[in-house]
Every structure is written in C-alpha cells, then in structure tokens.
C-alpha cells in the first residue's frame, strides 16, 4: 500500500511538472465547429462579423483546427492572454497552407499579404501601434529566417518561417523563441505577452489564400 501511494504521488508530481512546463493558448474545440473559436475576436464588432466569413473551426477525424479562407480580405483575429515570456519563452504551433496569395511580399504595402501569420503582441502605451512580432508563411520567395518590419506598422516586426517553396497541403510544426526574437528587434526588457493574433489575408494582392492553424502553445525551455 505504501509503495502504491508513493507511486501515485510521483505520478501526480510528474503530471503537475508537465502542466507547468507549458501554457495552452488554443487547441481548438469540436464544440466550435463551423464558427469562430470561443475567445477569439477582431478589433471591433463589425470586423468580428467579417471575420466569421473567413475563419471557422473544422474537424478532421478527432482533431479540431482553425480553417482560414481569405478572398481579397484582411481581417485579423486575436485572443487575449497573459503570458510571462521569461517563464515561457518558446511558442509552438502547427499550420498548413493550401493556397498562396500570389504576388505577395510582406516588405511593401501594395503586396503586404501573408498566406498565414501568427502575431505575438506585447504591452505598450501606444495602443495604435503596439509592439508585435509577426511570424509568417510567405507567398514570396523571401528566404526562410528573413527579418523585416511591416510597411503598415513600424512596431510590427516580421520573421519569415516558410515561403512559396515550402510544401503545401501539409501540416508543419513550428517552434520559435519569442523572448530572443523580442530582444533582437526591440532590445528592451519585456515580461508579458498580451495577445496572440492570427491572420490570413489577400486584400493587397486581390487574390485568395487558404490556410489552417492548430495547437498554439507556450513552453518553458
């Protein structure tokens, strides 16, 4: 009996450790199938209503994921979080792209679309231009690892994780060190992430983009 009790305590402690090693932002739920996932919205009611035509939860087998289909649209959705980035510096997620927004290039306003993008947004007094890092699956031939800034918002920095040469129709796992990327771009101390954003857009190129997102998780080292 004592041996059994000790084993239970060990397993409980191990489970707690594993839970403490990660914070789930979103795994998406079958309960939200056919609609925007709970807790996600755009900057106002009008844009959230528009987002409902672009983003919805779908189910493949037992797995729910976020589907995004942009037809000349540009609507970002976000979920408020409060993540201690020093404790959980690593961000992981899965995504795939089924259709690229042809002619896109994130460096310029007239072509500034992304087939898929994950935003990490940080607290700042400039609500109209917050500090953010945008991790993108680009429809351009910009090299993987290329860094630039948004032509629309100088405080939004961009990192190319995938490009037009990356395989389509295939789930790809990503893992980035948000803390190190923040230090690279902004150089100042930061403690918390306040919002995670998602956007698949195609308005500037007047084209079309299809992507999917899943399993957005912050991890310790």
pLDDT digits (tens, 9 = 90+) for 79-128: 999 999 999 999 999 999 999 999 999 999 999 999 999 999 998 766 66
Tens of pLDDT, residue by residue over 154-180, are: 999 999 999 999 999 999 999 999 999
Q: Which pLDDT does position 13 carry in this prediction?
A: 41
Q: Which pLDDT does position 221 carry in this prediction?
A: 79
CA distance 166 to 47: 31
Higher pLDDT, 74 or 17: 74
Q: Which pLDDT does position 11 carry in this prediction?
A: 43
Q: Is 111 exposed, middle or buried (0-12, 13-18, 19+ CB in 10 A)?
A: middle
Contact 216, 25 (CB under 8 A): yes
Would the pTM count as exceeding 0.85? yes
Give the rounded distance of the alpha carbon of 46 from its chain centre.
22
Tokens of residue 104, six digits: 């896109």
The closest alpha carbon to 128, from 108, 153, 149, belongs to 153
Fold adopted by 24-219: Jelly Rolls (2.60.120)
Backbone φ, ψ for residue 54 (5° rounding): -105, -40
Q: Which pLDDT does position 128 carry in this prediction?
A: 64
Distances (CA, A) of 173 to 19, 66, 94, 162: 20, 15, 4, 11
% the chain with pLDDT above 90: 84
Q: Where are the domains of the chain?
A: 24-219
- Given a cut of 60, whether residue 145 has pLDDT beyond it is yes
């Amino acid at each position: 009996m004592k041996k059994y009790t000790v084993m239970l305590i060990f397993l409980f402690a191990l489970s707690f450790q594993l839970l403490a090693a990660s914070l789930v932002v979103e795994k998406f739920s079958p309960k939200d199938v056919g609609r925007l996932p709970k807790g996600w919205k755009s900057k106002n009611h009008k844009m959230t209503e528009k987002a409902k035509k672009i983003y919805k939860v779908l189910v493949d087998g037992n797995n729910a994921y976020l589907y995004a289909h942009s037809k000349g649209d540009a609507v970002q959705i976000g979920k408020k979080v409060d993540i201690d980035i020093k404790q959980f510096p690593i961000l992981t997620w899965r995504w795939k792209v089924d259709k690229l927004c042809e002619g896109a290039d994130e460096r310029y306003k007239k072509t500034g679309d992304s087939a898929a993008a994950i935003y990490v947004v940080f607290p700042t007094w400039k609500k109209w231009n917050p500090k953010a890092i945008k991790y993108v699956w680009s429809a351009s031939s910009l090299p993987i690892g290329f860094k630039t800034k948004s032509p629309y918002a100088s405080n939004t920095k961009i990192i190319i994780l995938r490009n037009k040469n990356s395989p389509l129709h295939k789930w790809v796992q990503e893992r980035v060190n948000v803390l190190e990327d923040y230090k690279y771009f902004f150089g100042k101390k930061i403690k918390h992430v306040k919002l995670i954003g998602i956007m698949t857009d195609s308005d500037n190129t007047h084209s079309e983009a299809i992507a999917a997102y899943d399993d957005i998780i912050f991890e310790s080292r």
